[in-house]
Amino acid sequence: MDFNRILFWLGRTFFICTGLFSVTAIVGVLDQDFSGAIVMATSGVTVGVFGWLLVMLSTGFDAKESKSEAILFLVLFWGMVPAILSLPFLFLGPSTSLLSAYFESVSAFTTTGATRLIPDELPAILLFWRALMQWAGGVSVATFAIVIFAAVNQTGTGVHKSMLYSLRNGELFSRLIGIGRLVAGVYLFLALLGFILMAFGGAPVFDALCLALSGISTGGLTPRAGPLQIYIPPFAATVLGILCVLGAMNLAVIWDYIRARSVRHSLRLFFNVEHRALLVIFAGLILIGVWFAGFASFGDLILDSAFFVSSAGFQYQVISLDLIPPVILITLALTGGSALSTAGGVKLIRILLLFRHLKVELSRLSHPSRVIPVKFRNQIIPDSAFLSIWMYFFAYTLAFGVGIAAFGVVGFSLDDAITTSAAMLSNVGPLLSLTLPESGLTYLQFTNGQMCVGIVLMLLGRLEVLAALALVLPNFWKQ
C-alpha cells in the first residue's frame, strides 16, 4: 500500500475544500457580512496551504493504485473533510465546542440533517455554508458510489455499476475527478433550476437557494426553524419535493435523460426498477398517512411523503407523517433510495434483489430437482453473486444493533436508542422528530458521548459499513 498516493489525493481534496470556502466568502461579501467572509477566506487559504504541502510531500508513487488504497482514502476522506469544514461552525456558530462543531459538520456533509443549532439564531453566511456542505456531500456520495464502490464490488451483483462506470484497473483516483465534475454539474444544474422555480414561485430568494442545495442532496437542513409551510408557498414546496425525489433517483438514469433529452429516455426515469419501487413506496406512504391522519391532510401528506421517501425528511406540515406508527417510518428510512443517489439507507436495489433471491429459494424448496435461476433486469444472476448483498445486509443490521446498544450505554431509553440509531445510520436525521419520542428527545439535548455515537453511525452510513469494517482485517493492510 502506497501512502504517498493517498496523501496526494487528500491534498487534492483540501483544494476542493478551499473552493467551498471561497464560494462562501464571496456570498458573505455580497451579504455585507465582512467578518464572516474573512473567516471563510482565512480558513480557505489555510486549508489550501496544507493541501499544497501534502501534494508537494507526496511524490514517487506508481500510477496504478489498488482497491485497498481506494478504500483507505474513502475512509480518511469521510473522516477528515467534515473536520476541515467544521471550522466555520467553531468560529461563527453559537458554540465553541470542537465536538459540537464536528457533529454539525458530519451531519451536513453526510446529508443526514441532524442539527443541534436553531437556524433563526445563525448568520446567513453559516446557513448558506450548511446548504453548500450538503450539496458537496451529496456530490461526494454519488461520485464514490459510481467509481469506488462500483470498482470494489465487481464480483457481486453490480449494485453500483452503471453506464458511467468505465475504467481499467489502476484508474480509480484519476476517474474520481472526471466523474466528480459530471456529478457536480448535474446536481448544480438541478439545484439552480429548482432555485429559480422556487424563487419565481414566491419563496424568499435566500431560502430558495439554501433549500435547493439541500433538496437535491436530500440533506434535510432548513434555513429557518419550523415547518416549511410557514415561509414557502405550496408551489415552491412542490418544486422542492421534486428535487428531493430526483436526488433519491439513480444519477446515471438522470444523466442519460439530460444528455439525450428524448421522450424514450424520459420514460426510463419512471420505468427504472429502483424508481418504480420508490414511487410505490411513495404512494404507499401517502395511503398509510391518509389512514392515520385523515383525508383532510392528503395534500400535505403528498409533500411530506416525497420528502421522507427521498431520505431528506423536510416537514411541510406539523401534523401529517408524525401520526404514522414509528416502526413504519423507521423501516422506510432504513430502506433508503437508489444506489447511485444521495439518499441513505440500505438502498432499494439491494432490497429488491434480496426479495428476488428469497422468492427463488422458496421455489427451490418446493421443487428441489428443478433448476430455477435468479433473473433480474433480464439477466441471470448466479447465487454466488448474492453473497456480497447478504454480507452487506448482515453488516448493516449488526451496525444498527451495535448503535442501539451504544446509545443505551450513553443514557438513551430503548425506544429512543432504536429511533436515533436508525436516523443516524440511514442518514435521515429528521426521523427523530417525526417519531415524536415520548421523552421529548431532540439533538440539542445530546451529550458528548451521544454525539460521538451519532458521528460514528452517520459516517458508517456513508461508508456503507463494509468499507469501514475492511480496515480491521489484517489482510487489508498486507495488500
Q: How far is CA 461 from the centre of its chain?
A: 8
CB 162 within 8 Å of CB 363? no
Is the pLDDT reported for residue 399 higher than 70?
yes
- Comparing C-alpha atoms, which of 322, 371, 348 is closest to residue 426? 348
Mean pLDDT of the 9-17 span:
92
The highest-confidence range among 69-78, 444-453, 461-470, by mean pLDDT, is 444-453
Is the pLDDT at 165 greater than 50? The verdict is: no
Among 306-310, 319-323, 450-454, the range scoring the smallest mean pLDDT is 319-323
CB 175 within 8 A of CB 143: no
Q: Span 385-404, mean pLDDT?
A: 87
pLDDT digits (tens, 9 = 90+) for 239-248: 999 999 999 9
pLDDT digits (tens, 9 = 90+) for 102-134: 999 999 999 999 999 999 999 999 999 999 999
| Winning range, highest mean pLDDT, from 52-56, 63-67, 127-131 | 127-131
Identify the sign of the CA torsion 27, 208, 178, 110: positive
pLDDT band at residue 69 under the 50/70/90 scheme: confident
Residue 156, pLDDT above cutoff 50: no
Q: What is the DSSP letter of 146?
A: I
What is the distance of C-alpha 377 from the center of its chain?
26
Q: Is the pLDDT of residue 2 over 50?
A: yes
**What single-letter amino acid sits at 270?**
F
Kindly state the cell numbers that stand for 314: 423536510
178-213 per-position pLDDT tens digit = 888 999 999 999 999 999 999 999 999 999 999 999
In whole angstroms, give the CA distance from residue 468 to residue 404.
18
- What value does the mean pLDDT take over residues 132-155? 79
pLDDT digits (tens, 9 = 90+) for 246-270: 999 988 888 877 776 666 666 667 7
C-alpha cell read off for 427: 442518514
Angle at 216 between CA 457 and CA 95, to 5 degrees: 50
What average pLDDT does the segment 328-343 reach?
91
Give the chain's count of helices (H) and strands (E): 22, 2
Q: Is the pLDDT of residue 218 over 90?
A: yes
Residue 168 has pLDDT above 70, yes or no: no
19-25: average pLDDT: 96
* 178 CB-contact burial (10 Å; exposed 0-12 / middle 13-18 / buried 19+): middle
Residue 369 pLDDT: 65
Ranges of beta strands (E only) in 46-173 are none
pTM of the entire structure?
A: 0.91
What average pLDDT is seen over the chain? 86
What's 138's DSSP letter?
A: H
Out of 56-60, 433-437, 440-444, pick the least confident. 56-60
**Dist. CA 282–CA 264, nearest whole Å:** 24
Calculate what percentage of the chain has a pLDDT beyond 70.
Answer: 88
Kindly list the distances between the CA atom of residue 281 and the CA atoms of 289, 306, 331, 336, 453, in Å, as whole numbers in the listed order.
12, 10, 11, 10, 30
Q: What is the pLDDT of residue 154?
A: 47
Q: Which residues of 313-349 are buried (b: 16+ CB within 10 A; e: fewer)?
A: bbbbbeebbbbbebebbbebbbbbbbbbbbbbbbbbb
Mean pLDDT of all residues in 406-430: 94
- Is the model's pLDDT at 34 over the cut of 90? yes
Residue 50 pLDDT: 94
Find where cell 474520481 sits. 176
Could you say which DSSP state residue 362 is in?
Answer: H
According to the model, what pLDDT value does residue 157 have? 47
CA distance 466 to 469: 5
**Amino acid in position 49:** V
| Predicted local confidence at residue 160, as pLDDT | 44
Is the distance from CB of 305 to CB of 245 less than 8 angstroms?
Answer: no
The domain locations on the chain are 3-183, 381-478
Helix, strand, coil share (%) of the chain residues, nearest 5: 70, 0, 30
User: Average pLDDT, stretch 152-175?
Assistant: 54
DSSP state of 444: G
